[in-house]
Structure 1
Amino acid sequence: MAKLGIKDIAAISGVSPATVSRTLRNPDIVSEETRKKVMKAVEEGGYTPSRFGANLRTQKSGNIIVVMPDITNQVNAGIIRAIESEAQKAGYSILLGDTQGLAEREKHYANMAQSGQADGVLLFTFHMPFNLNKALPVLKQLPPIVNSCESIPIEGISKVMIDNIAGARTAVEHLLSLGHKRIAAVMGPRDTPSTLERLKGYETALATARIEIDEQLIIRGDYGLDSGIGAMEQLLKLRLRPTAVFCFSDDMAIGAMSVLQENGFRIPQDISIMGFDDIRYARLMTPALTTIHQPLEEIGKACIELLLEQLDGKSEQARYVELPFQLMVRQSTGPAPL
């Protein structure tokens, strides 16, 4: 007689196939009554979970899913390179999940992990794509997971971050030290934690220097090159232009620099430009870009290290790792024009 499948077990138990899967994968998150019904059907039907099902703990897929909003972004590319290298050393393959900022894609990759197609997840988004029961411990409901770069506002998850507030404050303080007072900010996407944190750092530095915030000098961007171009074009139309511009990403800073140079402005003699990230091309620009260095390789390595600890059963507690940033002073910033 043929063995029953997961749909057959669901029909016999009177529950959904998803509930059967959850019961087999993590029985602690379902009720005792449901667990008894499902396990009785499993035993009587001779059901054997596949390697991509509930037997994940003893028969691993050997895959790790990396979920990112844009894998072509230079910051993400630097992190991915380090993740790939360290994962291979540990015998794991990387599955790249490019969500393009879409929630349905995030859910898709979460479902892949829950169905056993991956043993762990590295989340570089600020959305939690897994459904959680607030009454239960977070880690018991999730596959091995580490969150980085964009902090998910949920306690109990391992995270690898830098201090965006302090980094942005350091950037603005550098410009203030050069005599700049009209300092513009080109922000990232509106709802991302990194944008809000860098904005707070910008505002804190100005407030400490007793400089009033000018809303005209705060321009919305999206971390991309084109938004840096658009923001700089907008700033140049102001009657009172800024003497310095702090872009929340190097890509936007490079876009802003291109607009200034095309319009005959000298950098930094007329307008100073400050970035954030220290991507590979920052030091190759003319002039070389002053920026806040994120340790991209170290971020990738730390993420894998925390995830491997979970996969190897060496850690059942969430860990928070904060890596240091560094101010890289180059030629794109200089004294404020008289």
Structure 2
Amino acid sequence: MQPSSMNNKMVQVFIDDYLGGYKIGQYFASINHRNVAMLDDNDEEETRHRWRGFRQAFLDNGINIDEDSHFIINIKTEELQEGLDRFYPKLMEKTAVFCNSDFYALRLIKYLNEHGKKVPDDISVAGYDDIFFSKISSPELTTIRQDVQMKAEMAVDSMMRMIKNKPVEHNIKLPVELIIRQSCKSL
């Protein structure tokens, strides 16, 4: 089937968010975490891939995680601090939390420290993005690395190929990589 003429003019370069969530879930399961949660910034359908992958990894390991373990702090409608206060009792029931971004993970670690909790001694925390600060935080953050530079290069390359009327891939899914650092511990 030929793509429509509109689709011939579009290229989507995206990160495999489902696989990223799955890799964190597999990692948590491999170090014996069973009572886990994901901290997310919205519940929009197009952004649930990380949650679905995370949850599926546990299902593949015979562990059920229900929707109540998907903590959503929508920063469009509530301050992150308020959301963390709201979820704090539920967070303290968990052994590990996967955050939808390194920013959320680093803010969570700071919040937990302010409440006398130590990462990873009291709770393991992982993020997503592998931003610069994840390498210099204390503890250094376990995360999913996505290659933003490669994403930009692929987009520019595709655009240049289209300008020159050369064939392009219209859907380019880029890989992710699990980066294990000190913010998670084995149980």
TM-score range, shorter chain: 0.7 to 0.9
Check conservation: 1:183, 1:242, Cα contact below 8 A.
Answer: yes
- Structure ranking higher on relative contact order (CA contacts 8 Å, 6+ apart): 2
**Partner in structure 1 of residue 13 of structure 2:** 160
**Partner in structure 2 of residue 27 of structure 1:** none
**Partner in structure 1 of residue 24 of structure 2:** 171
1:325 aligns with 2:159: no
Check conservation: 1:188, 1:222, Cα contact below 8 A.
Answer: yes
1:128-147 equivalence runs, <5 A: 137-139=5-7, 144=9
SS at 1:161 equivalent: strand
**Partner in structure 1 of residue 100 of structure 2:** 248
Cα root mean square deviation, aligned: 2.2
Cα distance between partner residues in 1 of 2:18 and 2:7: 28
**Partner in structure 1 of residue 90 of structure 2:** 238
Cα distance between partner residues in 2 of 1:158 and 1:168: 24
Cα distance between partner residues in 2 of 1:172 and 1:219: 15
Unaligned 5+ residue runs, structure 1?
Answer: 1-135, 145-156
Check conservation: 1:173, 1:205, Cα contact below 8 A.
Answer: yes
1:185 maps to which of 38, 47, 53: 38
1:213 maps to which of 47, 54, 65: 65
Which whole-Å deviations, capped at 9, do the CAs of 1:250-301 have from their partners, x for residues lacking one?
Answer: 1111111111000111110100001011111111111111000000111111
SS at 1:308 equivalent: helix
Percentage of matched positions with identical amino acids: 26
**Partner in structure 1 of residue 185 of structure 2:** 334
Q: Aligned letter for 2:6? A: V
Cα distance between partner residues in 1 of 2:73 and 2:91: 21
Point out 4+ residue stretches in structure 1 off by more than 6 angstroms.
Answer: none
Which whole-Å deviations, capped at 9, do the CAs of 1:177-232 have from their partners, x for residues lacking one?
Answer: 11111111112322252x211111011012112222243321113589x53x4444
Aligned residue pairs total 182
Check conservation: 1:223, 1:251, Cα contact below 8 A.
Answer: no
1:1-338 equivalence runs, <5 A: 137-139=5-7, 144=9, 157-191=10-44, 193=46, 195-222=47-74, 227=80, 229-238=81-90, 241-315=93-167, 318-336=169-187
SS at 1:307 equivalent: helix
Cα distance between partner residues in 2 of 1:200 and 1:206: 10
SS at 2:12 equivalent: strand
Q: Aligned letter for 1:179? A: N
Q: Aligned letter for 1:264? A: G
Check conservation: 1:184, 1:242, Cα contact below 8 A.
Answer: yes
Unaligned 5+ residue runs, structure 2?
Answer: none
Using the TM superposition, give the Cα deviation of residue 162 of structure 1 relative to its aligned residue in structure 2, in angstroms.
2.0
SS at 1:237 equivalent: helix
